[in-house]
Amino acid sequence: MERSRRSFLKILGISTLGLGTLSAVDLLAKAEMGKAEYSPNPKGMTGKRWALVVDVKKLDEETTQKAIEACHLIHNVPDYGDEEEIKWIWTDKYEHVFPGQEHAYLAEEIEEKPFLLLCNHCSNPPCVRVCPTQATWQRGDGIVMMDQHRCIGCRYCMAACPFGARSFNWKDPRTTYFKDKEPPNPKYPTRTKGVVEKCNLCAERLAVGEMPACVEAVKDSKAIVFGDLEDPHSEARELLHERFAIRRRPELGTSPNVYYIV
């Protein structure tokens, strides 16, 4: 897979060696780097298994909104507010985040807490398994990526993702939501109608050595910690060592990489 992807890149003459991926995201990140023609940014972060640890105790309405806004502005996610909504990161209540684990006597504090939801960048991702075009694929560092130039819009990945992490562009954001207003981040491409999108773990930011936008947005409270789980000294790993954390629907075997400290 890696090989064919590489040769495809060469054909197009836009090889970003080292990243070895073709996505609007990387192209953009590269355009931004500018100077390093064919090598990755030396400041770029590398890891083997990126993960997020969300400390729910530290989250409230305000901090979660900050995280959501940061992500959606930086990635030009339209806000339709209906059943066709597109969301990369959002909140929901415990009973919806961990269905089947709620009970009638849930601690009040947990019951009403806003949980942050996003793609889990599963280690064994069913969305990647089912995609007929490899438009959804997994990088060596565990990030589950989307290539919106290859996606045929079959939505098989949406049926396969047990976390509801994926959104489909039912209409064209460029001619609807962004018709009269500029997309907030001119450096990030808007999508067209007919393709799927989701959180990309800020791959374009990691490539230039920046933290994911949602992590950055709440960094004062340290409510979301980002790190490499394969690195025993990473902040995320140490946090998981100290505090009890759970994951969504672990019984399905997808091995999610977003952890919740409750």
Partner 1 sequence: MLETALKGSKKYWILIGVLFGLHGIGVTAFLYQLNKGLTVTGMSRDVSWGLYIAQFTFLVGVAASAVMVVLPYYLHNVKEFGKITILGEFLAVAAVNMCLMFILVDLGKPMRMLNVILHPTPNSILFWDMVVLNGYLFLNIIIGWVVLSAERKQVEPPKWVKPLIYLSIPWAVSIHTVTAFLYAGLPGRHFWLTAIMAARFLASAFAAGPALLILLCLIVRRVSKFDPGKEAIQKVANIVIYALIISIFFVLLEIFTAFYSQIPGHMHGFVYTFVGLNGYGNLVPWTWASAVMAVVATLMLLCPPLRKNETTLAISCLLVFFSLWIEKGITLVITGFIPNPFDTITEYVPTLPEVAITVGIWATGFLILTILYKIAVSVKEEIAS
Interface residue list for ligand SF4 (CB under 6 A): 71, 75, 88-89, 118-122, 125-127, 130-133, 135-136, 144, 151-157, 161, 163, 165-166, 196, 198-202, 212-214, 254
CA distance 199 to 74: 11
C-beta separation of 184 from 73 below 8 A: yes
CA distance 79 to 106: 32
Q: From partner 1, ligand SF4, none, which one binds at residue 240 (CB under 5 to 8 Å depending on kind)?
A: none
Closer of 209 and 253 to partner 1 (Cβ):
253
Q: Can you give the binding site for partner 1, defined by CB under 8 A?
A: 4, 83-86, 92, 95-97, 99-100, 126, 129-135, 150-156, 158-164, 167-172, 193-196, 249, 252-254
Range 247-255 contact pairs with CB under 8 angstroms and sequence separation of 24 or more: 247/120, 248/97, 248/98, 248/120, 248/163, 249/98, 249/162, 249/163, 252/162, 253/124, 254/120, 254/122, 254/123, 254/124, 254/125, 254/126, 254/162, 254/163, 255/122, 255/123, 255/124
Q: From ligand SF4, partner 1, none, which one binds at residue 245 (CB under 5 to 8 Å depending on kind)?
A: none
Q: From ligand SF4, partner 1, none, which one binds at residue 127 (CB under 5 to 8 Å depending on kind)?
A: ligand SF4
Q: From partner 1, ligand SF4, none, which one binds at residue 129 (CB under 5 to 8 Å depending on kind)?
A: partner 1
User: Least separation, in Å, of the C-beta of 233 and ligand SF4?
Assistant: 22
CA distance 63 to 61: 6
User: Least separation, in Å, of the C-beta of 196 and ligand SF4?
Assistant: 4
Q: From ligand SF4, partner 1, none, which one binds at residue 234 (CB under 5 to 8 Å depending on kind)?
A: none
| Beta bridge partners of residue 227, listed in sequence order | 51
User: Least separation, in Å, of the C-beta of 225 and ligand SF4?
Assistant: 12
Closer of 69 and 95 to partner 1 (Cβ):
95
**How many Cα atoms within 13 Å fall on the side-chain side of residue 101?**
14
Closer of 24 and 158 to partner 1 (Cβ):
158
C-beta separation of 90 from 224 below 8 A: no
Q: From ligand SF4, partner 1, none, which one binds at residue 56 (CB under 5 to 8 Å depending on kind)?
A: none
Closer of 22 and 214 to ligand SF4 (Cβ):
214
Closer of 135 and 240 to ligand SF4 (Cβ):
135
SS3 category, 72: helix
φ/ψ region of 137 (left if φ > 0, alpha if ψ in -120 to 50, else beta) reads: beta
